[in-house]
Structure 1
């Protein structure tokens, strides 16, 4: 197995009596595409929000490239190489497509900005829309723009939260190609409900249920797991 780029131990976050994430142990191998799946309310978005620093852990610790980042704020984790694209599209609607990506490239410290921004747009197929106001893009193109913004950060870990939601089949095929092009230079953690996408892209899958890890394994192992079938995939 490849070196571990990120590990969580005992990661916990409760909201009142709700155990959103409860004592989760998790390893992410460098250069892999790792999918995180589970029923609605399983704790997936809370878990990746803990990894990215958007919310604080109640207990446990997170190591990234061997360094403890448990208490680092989100912007500091971005500087370390963790990019997180959100479940709900987060773009600057009044700015051009190019400016959205250029701002991401600037925050990474890329110079000159234009080649870095245009490279990211080219990778998601939005070069011809660089001058368009981002808020006028279709929903699917806005999702691809968000991925371009993540790529412009030159991440070592790219976390994608429900990236294919609202995409057409053609856009999903483009997205799959983008993700496959990112590795092994970067590592991808994919939170996704579309099981066709998961099974095509992921080398390993972790299943969350009620805030706990139900199973981790290859796609074949996850498909064959009776507990996963009962909780999520169906018999």
Structure 2
């Protein structure tokens, strides 16, 4: 079943065609990776999907409903959660309170949902720790917990392994495999080992357009993708 689809999605900034007529389909229950060179339009594209940037033309449908003109907070209520490329935690609040803010935004049971989200990412024992004192890797996990606390149908992760140590990347991959049982994941990621290991399908953006979309094996073997991004 298609959970999200975009048709003709376009966003230009002056003469820069950041996203230029993109068609995109996301199936429910998959890990779908979005890759491409720096400046390819990946972050702009997902910002259009989650409502942080308005669409100039094109249509976005989520679970069959047109959400093209909905504001970001309405899309969150419909089940789209987006974690940012740069960690967005409140450094002076506790780990618990960071997640509780997300739960409160959704209107769920504060204590139960917060502790469940922290347990899911392995931070339950750090609930009372001030978020700013966490390691970088733990802050990224906290950010994912804040997204999971919204009970999203779609979780968009923007460069989640950036700056993580190898052991932390292994923890992240195990977490994604666990959450995809009930949450579709759209992953924007430069670490190709992570992409090839986790993704069911991959879409490659280049100069704001879709260069290719397919399975990891198909993407790895695509000469155009090799030339533009994989260096093959």
Query: What's the TM-score bracket when you normalise by the shorter of the two chains?
Result: over 0.9
Q: Deviations for 1:86-129, whole angstroms, at most 9, x for unmatched residues?
A: 00111111110000001111111211x11211111111111111
Q: Deviations for 1:178-212, whole angstroms, at most 9, x for unmatched residues?
A: 11111131110000000010011000000000000
1:81 paired to 2:79:
yes
SS at match of 1:50: helix
Task: Please point out which of 5, 8, 16 is paired with 2:3.
Answer: 5
Q: Deviations for 1:36-85, whole angstroms, at most 9, x for unmatched residues?
A: 00000000000000000000011101000000000111111000000000
State the partner residue of 1:54. 52
SS at match of 2:88: coil
In 2, Cα distance between equivalents of 1:99 and 1:50: 29
State the partner residue of 1:98. 96
Are 1:30 and 1:184, in contact at CA under 8 Å, matched by a contact in 2?
no
RMSD: 0.6
After TM superposition, what 4+ stretches of structure 1 lie above 3 angstroms from structure 2? none
Are 1:9 and 1:26, in contact at CA under 8 Å, matched by a contact in 2?
yes
- Give TM-score scaled by structure 1 length: 0.97
Unaligned runs of 5+ in 2: none
Count of residues in Structure 1 that have an aligned counterpart in Structure 2: 232
In 2, Cα distance between equivalents of 1:120 and 1:200: 24
State the partner residue of 1:182. 179
Task: Please point out which of 158, 166, 169 is paired with 1:169.
Answer: 166
Are 1:94 and 1:133, in contact at CA under 8 Å, matched by a contact in 2?
yes
Superposition pairs of residues 32-47 of structure 1, within 5 angstroms? 32-47=30-45
State the partner residue of 2:137. 140
In 2, Cα distance between equivalents of 1:141 and 1:167: 9
